[in-house]
Amino acid sequence: MSTHAVVRDDDYVIDQNWVGYTADDHAVWDFLYRRQRTILADRADEALLRGHEALNLNRGGIPDFAVINEELKARTGFTVVAVPGLVPDEVFFNHLANRRFPAGQFIRGRHQLDYLQEPDIFHDVFGHVPLLTNPVFADYMEAYGKGGLRALQFGKLKNLAALYWYTVEFGLIETAKGLRIYGAGISSSKDESIFALDAPSPNRLRFDLERVMRTEYRIDDYQQSYFVIRSYEDLIRATLDQDFAPLYQRLADGISHLPEAILPTDQVVTAGTQAYARAKASGEVI
Ligand code: PHE
Ligand code: FE
């Protein structure tokens, strides 16, 4: 979700060209799928795990969009479309507003199994697409797309992007079994899946819409704070069911919170030690 310099006047959709993937590409998918499923078994929200299974994402190799779209469309009306990589914000919002999820066509190579900057097909299809089988979450994503087009008009994209970041990408959810992962940035990452739930370092704070929309975020490292929702219905109530116009007016005061901040008004689930961020800053961790 960032802007490319080249402006094209199309929707950026390309053919997935499934037959063009190599045996190695398929092997990378299978490896990553198995590795993440093992890590996520007791860490991811049921809705995400059931989504992987509903779409049968381990039928062998990289999923063929034509095949998974049949199941996805039947469940929520969403489809996955292939794009070359990141697309301009407006294009991204437009797809979501029309219940299409734009997914990177390419897969990472063997030399970058653990981390890469651009969203590839594993991040997008293993991380994001499974929750689109959930009707409530699907509604949230469509509304987010519409809200994005609106945020552009208000000049408040940065704030809306923070909402995406701390929910769709890095969200945690409270369940009867304890905290669980639902954000795709976490669930598609080997190390952050463990860090986000198990490490003493990060804060885990209750989700509050305005608070989140005022919070800075890091795109190049683990998060210093994660925000915890109680349910997807709660997330919908706080977003889809609210008119953001008054909120955008209030945000004009420009107050922004650091990623590691704990405010007096926060409901703290766990206060982080920030040991990881400190070690990193002093060069102890590379
Ligand atoms: N309700 C928001 C608005 O009025 C739009 C939105 C919905 C944003 C859901 C995010 C998620 O702009
Ligand atoms: Fe993503």
Atom of ligand 1 nearest to the CA of 151: 12
Give me the residues paired with residue 270 across strands: 204
Q: What is the pTM of this model?
A: 0.95
| Ligand that lies nearest to the alpha carbon of residue 239, given by its number in the listed order | 1
Q: Return the best residue to mutate from 229, 240, 251 for the ligand 1 pocket (most ligand atoms within 8 A of CB).
A: 240
Average pLDDT over residues 192-198: 98
User: If you measure from the C-alpha of residue 243 to the centroid of ligand 1, how many angstroms do you get, rounded to a whole number?
Assistant: 7
For residues 237 and 234, what is the distance between their CA atoms, to the nearest angstrom? 5
Nearest CA to ligand 1 atom 11: 144
Out of 244, 248, 249, 250, mutate this one to test ligand 1's pocket (max ligand atoms within 8 Å of CB): namely 244
Residue 2 pLDDT class (50, 70, 90 cuts):
very low
Ligand that comes closest to the CA of residue 116: 2
State pLDDT tens for residues 211-251.
999 999 989 899 999 999 999 999 999 999 999 999 999 99
* Residue 4: pLDDT over 80: no
CA angle 202, 200, 169 (to 5 degrees): 35
Examine the pLDDT at 286 and tell me if it is beyond 90. no
Instruction: Give the C-alpha separation, 72 to 70, whole Å.
Output: 6
User: Measured in Å, how far apart are the chain's first and last C-alpha atoms?
Assistant: 27
Pocket around ligand 1: residues whose beta carbon is below 6 Å from it?
Answer: 140, 143-144, 147, 150, 163, 239-240, 242-244
Q: Are 86 and 103 in contact (CB under 8 A)?
A: no
For residue 276, how far is its CA from the centre of ligand 2 (angstroms)? 23
Amino acid at 47: A
The predicted pLDDT at position 116 comes to: 85
Share of the chain above pLDDT 70, in %: 97
d(CA 14, CA 33): 24
State yes or no: pLDDT of 283 exceeds 90: no
9: confidence class by pLDDT, cuts 50, 70, 90: low
CA of 87 from ligand 1 middle (Å) equals 21
Which residues in the chain belong to E strands, given as ranges?
79-83, 100-104, 172-175, 178-181, 203-206, 225-229, 268-270
The three-class DSSP label of residue 215 is strand
Lowest-confidence pick of 54-58, 144-148, 202-206, 275-279: 275-279
What's the farthest any 2 CA atoms get from each other in the chain?
55
28-71 tens-digit pLDDT: 999 999 999 999 999 999 999 999 999 999 999 999 999 999 99
Q: Domain ranges in the chain? A: 9-282
**Percent of the chain scoring above 90 in pLDDT:** 91
The stretch 193-212 carries a mean pLDDT of 98
Domain 9-282 in this protein, CATH class: mainly alpha
